[in-house]
Structures are given as C-alpha cells and as structure tokens.
Amino acid sequence: MLRYMHRSGFQPFNQRLLPWVQSIAVPRSHGVQPSAVRHVRSWSNIPFITVPLSRAHGKPFAHRSELKHAKRIVVKLGSAVVTRGDECGLALGRLASIVEQVSVLQNQGREMMLVTSGAVAFGKQRLRHEILLSQSVRQALHSGQNQLKEMAIPVLEARACAAAGQSGLMALYEAMFTQYSICAAQILVTNLDFHDEQKRRNLNGTLHELLRMNIVPIVNTNDAVVPPAEPNSDLQGVNVISVKDNDSLAARLAVEMKTDLLIVLSDVEGLFDSPPGSDDAKLIDIFYPGDQQSVTFGTKSRVGLGGMEAKVKAALWALQGGTSVVIANGTHPKVSGHVITDIVEGKKVGTFFSEVKPAGPTVEQQGEMARSGGRMLATLAPEQRAEIIHHLADLLTDQREEILLANKKDLEEAEGRLATPLMKRLSLSTSKLNSLAIGLRQIAASSQDSVGRILRRTRIAKNLELEQVTVPIGVLLVIFESRPDCLPQVAALAIASGNGLLLKGGKEAAHSNRILHHLTQEALSIHGVKDAIQLVNTREEVEDLCRLDKIIDLIIPRGSSQLVRDIQKAAKGIPVMGHSEGICHMYVDSEASVDKVTRLVRDSKCEYPAACNALETLLIHRDLLRTPLFDQIIDMLRVEQVKIHAGPKFASYLTFSPSEVKSLRIEYGDLEVCIEVVDSVQEAIDHIHKYGSSHTDVIVTENEKTAEFFLQHVDSACVFWNASTRFSDGYRFGLGAEVGISTSRIHARGPVGLEGLLTTKWLLRGQDHVVSDFSEHGSLKYLHENLPVPQRNFS
C-alpha cells in the first residue's frame, strides 16, 4: 500500500524534480563514478553537500569509523521513541529532530528509509478523543443536570487504533519533511509481502524507484490487517525472518534492499550485559555474533511488541545478510537531537554490531586493566617503583638503536605531511634519549616519599586520630601529538605516583610509541604490574575517549592548542589538566641590560619555537625605541630569520612597518613574533592579562623594585625575572619530567610533575567512638590538636 506526498502548491513532483535528478543521479550500484567529486548543489535555494560515497555491498562494515561511507541507510524508530510517555499521542519534539537528521543525511546524497511505529499511539489519541466527545454529548442529552459523571474509556483494539492513526501519522511526517524540501512516500506491508515472491519483487521495485527519485520511503507494518506472527519461523535463516514487529521488519527491509546501515532507535542507550538499571549493568560498545550467552535480557520496553532480545536477534540476522547495525537511544533529550548523524559520523554511540573482533582488548578493558594494575602499583614499596623507573631509564639508552630506527620510520612516513614544527617534535635523537634517561632517574629519586606521605595529623579526641595522606588520582588518560618522548616521561610519573595510565598517541608517531610502550611494559614486568600502563591502539576517536567518565579520572592533553580546546569541549564529567594556548610574553623594561636582552630574546624565541613555552609577544618600553638596544634586538631577529608582526602601537611609530598583527592573542609556534610598545610596567601587566594565556611571562630589567612589582602582579602560572621563558619546564624545574603545563587555578599549576598526579584521602583511627558521645551532654570533648608529621613515610 503506497501513499505518495509532495508539497501542496508545487508543480507535480516528477516535472519539478526529474531533470534535477537526472543531472546528478548516482548509479544504482553502491558506488560512484570514478570521477565523482565533492560538490555543492542546491534545491529550493537550500545549499547542501553531496558526499562522494563508495560502498560495495556484501560484507558489513568492520569498524565504526567506516560508517561515514554508508550510502543506503534504514532508520527504525521504536514505539518508545515515537510515542509520548503516556503512550497516547506522539513525541513531536523528538520526531521533528529525527526528521531533521534524516533530511540532512538525505541532502548529503545518501538514500534514507524510515521504519516507523506510532500509528497505534496516534490512533489511540484520536479515538479516545472521539469516544470522550461522544460520551459527553450523550450524557448531556440524557442528564437532568448539566454535569458529566465520571466516564470510563473502553479498552481500544490495536487494529482499530492503527487504522485511525495511519493517515494522521503520515500527514505529520509530510508536514515535517516539507520543511526541508524533501518528499516522502508511505508503504504499508505485512508478512505476506515478503513471503509471496511476486509481492516481494513488487515491493523491491517500488522502493528502488522511490530512492531513485530521491524520495524517503516511510515503511510500517499494516497493523490494521496484520495477522499474528507465523510460529517457529522467526529468524531461522536469511530468507525466512517473519515480520512480527518493526524490529524484524527493519531487518528484513535492510537485507532486502542491500542497505549499508540499519540504525535501531529505542529508549535505552544500547545493549547492556545485564538489564539496564541493575547495579553491574555495562553498556556493550561492540557486540559480536556468539556473544549472546554473555548477555542477560530484561523485560521489553513500555510500549511496542519487541524487547531488546528481539532487537538483538533482528540485528544479528541483518548483520548476517551484510548490513551493519547500531542500536542506540533515541529518547534521551541530550543526545536525540544528533544521535543519527553521530552514528553515521562514526562516533561512539550505542552498540555497534560487528563480525570482526579486534586483535587486542577494547579501550574499556584497557581502562579496567590500567585501574587494577595501578592499584597494584600503588601498593609496591617506594624502592620497587623507583627500581622500575631506573630500569626504564636503562632501557632507553640500551635500546637506543631500535628506538631511533622506529622513529626514522615515523619521520619518513610523515615527510611532506607534517609542518616543520611538528616534525621537530616528532624527531628523537641520542641526546634526547640521554636527557630522558637523566630525567627519569630524577623522578625515581623523588618518588621515595610520594604515595602514602602524611600531610597532616590531628588528635580529634582521646584515642581518635586523623591523618591526611597522599594517594594516586586513579586512571590518567594522556593524549599527545607528535611527541614520542612524552611517553616515557609520563609513564615514569605515573609509575612514581602509583597511577594507572592510558596513552593515546598520534598516528604519526605510531612506530616510536609502540617500541617505547613495549620497553615501559618490560620495565613494569619486573614487579608484575605490566598492565598498569596501556597504549590505546584501537580506532577510538579522542572525543569518544573523553566520554569514558566511569573509567578515566583525569585527562591530560599534550599537543596543539586546538587539540586541548577540543578535549576540554569533549570531556564529559572528567577534569582536564592543561592549557589551551602558550602565549608567552617578555617585557623589556627601560632599565634592561643591553647584554642580557638579546640573549634572553634569542633563547626564548629561537631555541625551540614549536614549544608551548616559547616567546610569542615581545613588549618593548617606549623609551627604548630608536636606541642601540632596540636595533640590536631587531638585527638579531633578522639574523635568526624570525618574521616580525607589528602591534598597533608599534606600527604607529614606524613609517614602513612590518606586517601588522591580525590579533594580539596568537600562538605562532614557529619563527614568528609580535612586537608591541608599552609606556610602563603597569601597561605591560595589563596587556599580558588581556592577551596572554596565563602560561609564562618574563620581565627583563635591572631595577629590582620594578621586577618584584611585575612578579607579584602578573597572574600567570610562571613569572620570571631576567630568565628565558624556556625554563618553564618540569625537567628544568627539577621535577624530573612533567605531564604538562597547567594554567588552571585548581589542584596543580605550572609544570605538573609528580606532586600534581597525587590527591589525598583521610584516615581515621578510633576505638568505638560515636558522634553522640560529643553532644552537649556527652562524655567526650573535641580536642583538635595538631600532631607532628613524620618527615618520611615508606609504608
């Protein structure tokens, strides 16, 4: 049964659209012409992008990241998604959001189909209204008083509700799709339409023709006449799935139409290993055929015919037929507005059904391994943790040739793809490895008094003593770009602090990261805590990792300012330690030493311009303009081939100025610097507070009073006097190494070393103490005496 719709007032659809369809038609195979390119087309003055999709149907996608290549997609809307909580009427807001997402994907050049519930609920609402209206009229006519008695609404038969609701449901879809200049067609089917060969061919031909004309088919079981499901024939083979609910209908339709992706939206986040809401229930990210034994199914949803077990059976049947499947939540207000597009973009939403099991553990399993290993690590004696770090330092020098060979592969593969600053970060050398080994030994020495150190002791009352002690934070996630030397540094700090660690490195450093992680686990193995540090090698996107709030306790990004901003935005309930920008300033005071200035500027800007602690803005006191000191600074920058950008005030003093800066808040990360003029130390401080990033700022002056004023008033993580910005570093501070530099004002600030990876817990030791003993008429009184703290604690 087919119902076709188009916007009223438009010319007939085939006359209006067919020339356009012919001009851009994609061949009916699941691919595109070799010459296909990404281009913009428009319809009704609404521009949209055509995505070049290439997909040969046969095998389902192996990984979520491949879902963006899906060309033909079926979206199944469960009853709980379409209907309101009272099961009488439709959830119009959710439905409108779903239609919008389907329209966006349709306008990208994909072929979208909907399998929708809702006719029964919509009809129930209409019939209840009619019954109430009819009863109230009859009662008013037969009652002596114009008061209505309480009226009972009879139980409504589902087929009658479906018959009454179909037209209204489709009219609603028509109105919604019209807003996006998309036409839709209704198709009502029963089990017989799939089991009768002629009817099946007719249905197949109709659907293909609708897709060819860029129409969205909206399919539903014809609940007004549908017979009961055939017994003992459900899901027995590829060709005999019985259509007894919309789950099985969606699976049958997906396989019949050789679709690439089936999205099943329900009222739960996906498939759990036990009924959702139970204490130990965990969402299954990827489900593989044969895993059914590990799942305990609960009751079905509040509405609809199928439950989760029916959805899983239908999904596995579709997977067997070559269609990828994702089951996700279509009712949650925070995600329903983008759940479909997120799935197609490959984001970690719901449960993805795959036939390909990964070679190693999932990231969730790695997180659990890191937590368990971290707890074991924290129970080791300080000398044992130090021994692991010393062994890792030795391995860095002993296995130098293997490390540099792996790094050479990364550099060769990155040649021409990475910018020069990133290539410098990616590169390892003998001197870098030696410096790393020295830093690791410093960490080992400082780790003797880290975990379990007593910070405070208080006698609460007689025989009731309280201690505050240091403990690991838990599981750390460190995400780093083009910095393989970051891996052993962070690993050593995690070992020293007893934290579990997940590492996510950039693919450009894959070879280097792999061997460095192997050496780290070799060092951990000497005390049986190999699992404490895990390298994430799966295809997990950074945004997906940032959502693992039940696994990860702290995220530490090491990379570009854009990476840090993206992580801070994506992190859901997980604190992020770091800085989004390193806009470091140096203020050259009017009383600065000629001999010191050029050395400090050169080292701060030119020694390693890609570093986050490199100089980006040079503030010059106005009195120094047109002086030999100023000329020496400019000449040195030219010799070092540093491109100069003039700030607005500096440009106003020059007849022929360098290129005027586009913004005073730029981290160049290269041989470029902004020069600006200020009238006083206070103006320099104001400029830093307005345009800086609270990272590292320096004053160059011989006036101690001016310097102290600068040091006390600049609100940054690191503030220096007559020293290079490049000293802002954990190794140079004597911390051994750092996990990053934090500009946050909570917990840790500046270069974050071992201390920044610890938190505290309280230990209270008593003898049958109860609070009621300390009441007004109780027998005990609070003492709150400070007790001496031991200098070192090796327990």
pLDDT digits (tens, 9 = 90+) for 99-114: 999 999 999 999 999 9
Q: Which of 42-51, 183-192, 330-339 has the highest mean pLDDT?
A: 183-192
**pLDDT band, residue 50 (cuts 50/70/90):** very low
Q: Give dist(CA 81, CA 174) in Å, integer.
A: 18
Q: Examine the pLDDT at 306 and tell me if it is beyond 60.
A: no
- Residue 490: per-residue pLDDT: 93
Q: Give dist(CA 372, CA 384) in Å, integer.
A: 18
Q: Please state, as a whole number, how many other Cβ atoms lie within 10 Å of the Cβ of residue 762.
A: 10
Residue 142 counted as domain residue: no
When the pLDDT of each residue in the chain is averaged and rounded to a whole number, the result is: 83
Residue indicated by tokens 């003593």: 465
Residue 234 counted as domain residue: no
Residue indicated by tokens 């339709």: 253
- Residue 305: per-residue pLDDT: 42
Same domain (yes/no): 405, 514:
yes
Residue 51 counted as domain residue: no
Contact 221, 29 (CB under 8 A): no
- Residue 30: per-residue pLDDT: 38
| Average pLDDT value for residue range 459-481 | 94
- Residue 639: per-residue pLDDT: 95
Strand order in the sheet with 500-505: 533-535, 500-505, 475-480, 554-558
Q: Is 601 exposed, middle or buried (0-12, 13-18, 19+ CB in 10 A)?
A: buried
Q: Give dist(CA 483, CA 557) in Å, integer.
A: 11
| Average pLDDT value for residue range 22-43 | 35
Say which residue, 707 or 118, is predicted with more confidence. 707
| Average pLDDT value for residue range 143-169 | 66
Question: N- to C-terminal Cα distance for the chain?
Answer: 77
Q: What is the pLDDT of residues 247-265, one digit of tens each?
A: 888 999 999 999 999 999 9
Same domain (yes/no): 503, 561:
yes
- Residue 11: per-residue pLDDT: 40
How would DSSP label each residue in 622-647? GGGTTSHHHHHHHHHHHHTTPEEEE-
**pLDDT band, residue 743 (cuts 50/70/90):** confident
pTM beyond 0.75: the answer is no
For the chain, how are helix, strand and coil distributed in percent, rounded to 5? 40, 20, 40
Q: Give dist(CA 475, CA 74) in Å, integer.
A: 39
Same domain (yes/no): 538, 650:
no
Same domain (yes/no): 347, 202:
yes
Number of domains into which the chain is organized:
3
**pLDDT band, residue 135 (cuts 50/70/90):** low
- Give the domain CATH number at 463: 3.40.605.10
The torsion angles phi and psi of 297, rounded to 5 degrees, stand at -85, 145
- Give the domain range for residue 544: 375-570
| Average pLDDT value for residue range 777-785 | 91
Residue that is last in its domain, among 517, 540, 570: 570
Contact 114, 75 (CB under 8 A): yes
Task: Give the distance, in angstroms, between the CA of residue 208 and the centroid of all CA atoms in the same chain.
Answer: 37
Q: Give dist(CA 230, CA 191) in Å, integer.
A: 9
| Average pLDDT value for residue range 592-619 | 93
Same domain (yes/no): 644, 719:
yes
Q: Give dist(CA 709, CA 701) in Å, integer.
A: 12
Same domain (yes/no): 408, 555:
yes
* Bridge partners for 502 per DSSP: 477, 534
- Residue 52: per-residue pLDDT: 45
Indicate the residue type of 735.
L
Same domain (yes/no): 421, 340:
no
Residue 754 counted as domain residue: no
Task: Give the distance, in angstroms, between the CA of residue 435 and the centroid of all CA atoms in the same chain.
Answer: 34
User: Would you put residue 346 in left (φ > 0), alpha (ψ -120 to 50) or beta?
Assistant: left
Helix (H, G, I), strand (E, B) or coil at 49: strand
Residue 23 counted as domain residue: no
Same domain (yes/no): 532, 385:
yes
Same domain (yes/no): 454, 505:
yes
- Residue 294: per-residue pLDDT: 65
Q: Give dist(CA 500, CA 391) in Å, integer.
A: 18
Task: Quote the tokens at residue 496.
Answer: 């020293």
Residue 453 counted as domain residue: yes
CB burial of 475-498 (b: ≥16 within 10 Å; e: otherwise) equals bbbbbbbbbbbbbbbbbbbbbbbb
| Average pLDDT value for residue range 444-451 | 86
Residue that is last in its domain, among 520, 538, 570: 570
Same domain (yes/no): 250, 301:
yes
Q: Give dist(CA 476, CA 494) in Å, integer.
A: 8
Say which residue, 669 or 603, is predicted with more confidence. 603
Q: Give dist(CA 8, CA 230) in Å, integer.
A: 41
**pLDDT band, residue 29 (cuts 50/70/90):** very low
**pLDDT band, residue 343 (cuts 50/70/90):** very high
Q: Give dist(CA 575, CA 475) in Å, integer.
A: 12
- Residue 514: per-residue pLDDT: 96
Q: Examine the pLDDT at 695 and tell me if it is beyond 80.
A: yes
| Average pLDDT value for residue range 728-746 | 82
| Average pLDDT value for residue range 688-709 | 96
Of 675, 561, 666, 668, give the one whose Cα is nearest residue 608.
668
Same domain (yes/no): 348, 436:
no
Strand order in the sheet with 72-77: 2-4, 184-189, 216-221, 111-116, 72-77, 261-266, 324-329, 351-353, 286-287
Cα distances from 345 to residues 44, 104, 349, 516, in angstroms, run: 26, 12, 10, 32
Residue 361 counted as domain residue: no
The torsion angles phi and psi of 457, rounded to 5 degrees, stand at -130, 135
- Residue 39: per-residue pLDDT: 36
Q: What percent of the chain has pLDDT over 90?
A: 51
Task: Quote the tokens at residue 623.
Answer: 């009195």
Contact 308, 297 (CB under 8 A): yes
Q: Examine the pLDDT at 469 and tell me if it is beyond 80.
A: yes
Q: How many residues does the chain have?
A: 795
Residue 143 counted as domain residue: no
- Give the domain CATH number at 653: 3.40.309.10
Residue that is last in its domain, among 700, 719, 738: 738
Q: What is the pLDDT of residues 508-553, one digit of tens each?
A: 999 999 999 999 999 999 999 999 999 998 766 787 788 888 889 9
Q: Examine the pLDDT at 86 and tell me if it is beyond 80.
A: no
Indicate the residue type of 772.
S
| Average pLDDT value for residue range 363-373 | 91
- Give the domain CATH number at 206: 3.40.1160.10
**pLDDT band, residue 34 (cuts 50/70/90):** very low
Same domain (yes/no): 379, 416:
yes
- Residue 792: per-residue pLDDT: 60
